Chains A and B, each alone.
Chain A
């Protein structure tokens, strides 16, 4: 049995040697050419099938890679969007601060910048804004609060060590000693009217007030200098038999999106 096996192995070894020898002589070439000729169409079909499989595999791999890339880019976009939003906020804040700086530097006004940190209630009708600066920063009761353009937006109504509350110029109870920029520089009291606008009362009937005239602080109030813009006359109410006339005043400032304000020091 074992001898027969060895004989077969030896025969196959001899066949190998013979094949190599015949190939060296070139005698295998016709056989090789014949096989290649016969098998070429089948090989071509197999090769095309293999290529299709390769393309499919590479498509899948590419798709998987693209998915990873899209995932990566989505994450980066989200990060960049957040960064962009943060930078926009910083940019807006920067612009706002520059405005403050320009305005108050030009007017030689002392001021304290404060962030609005919350809205608080004074009573049922009026709301106050809570500022992050207080008496330790030099804030006092009655100081006016302005926006970046120097327009008055409110007044300090309560002060603690580190925070303070301000009322808005259009809120009831928020009063200012005001003057109309007309010929006689008429003075009066400006006070908020239910959070919608302001109203200037006790103007003598003899004074001539035009719509569009500017209202500024009169300087008659303690710690408030003259000339800070409070608003503009929108409507004048004058009755023949009344002792006084009144004017509806619209603030020039946007009172709804105050984030940074400046408290004007005396």
Chain B
């Protein structure tokens, strides 16, 4: 078995454990931090869509196991958000500046919450079960806090890693891969 797969699976498990066990127990507003989403966006910087989409599958599945929402909502939300994030990062934004990251996290967080709300509402409509109604980010304030925390975390991670790894130094134009 390739050790690389085990390494990724363990990382996905660690992020899931931290998100479900640690962050959910933190006081408001820190429990609004979405580590899964920030990790996926961070991975997007390495331009490996396949890897990121597999990560979103793994994380989404694990998060769906422990969510009160119908199975698949978080999974689909993460997966679609990652795809949108990829398009934004590599087709619209032309650099990897802090501002680009900020915009990416902002759009990503809003997209993710929007998809979750939409799917929850749809499930509620068809299954006619009011307890399925998604009640997480039911206000703009909570959404704003999520965006803020995710952005801060993303910028912190980017700053730390870019200080260590020259691969993540901001540059203006992305080299086309041959």
Contacts and interface: CB of A to CB of B under 8 A. Distances in A.
Contacts, number: 83
Chain B interface mostly: helix
B172 interface: no
A24 B123 CA distance: 14
Interface in B27-47: 27, 30
B98 interface: no
B76 interface: yes
A5 B83 CA distance: 11
Chain A interface mostly: helix
B134 interface: no
A117 interface: no
Interface string A220-233: 00000000000000
A48 B76 CA distance: 30
B18 interface: yes
Interface in A34-89: 35-36, 39, 42-51, 53-54, 57-58, 61
Nearest to A45: B21
B152 interface: no
Given A35-B65, A46-B21, A49-B22, A9 B57 contact: no
Nearest to A29: B65
Interface of A: 1, 5, 8-9, 12-13, 15-16, 19-20, 23-24, 28, 32, 35-36, 39, 42-51, 53-54, 57-58, 61
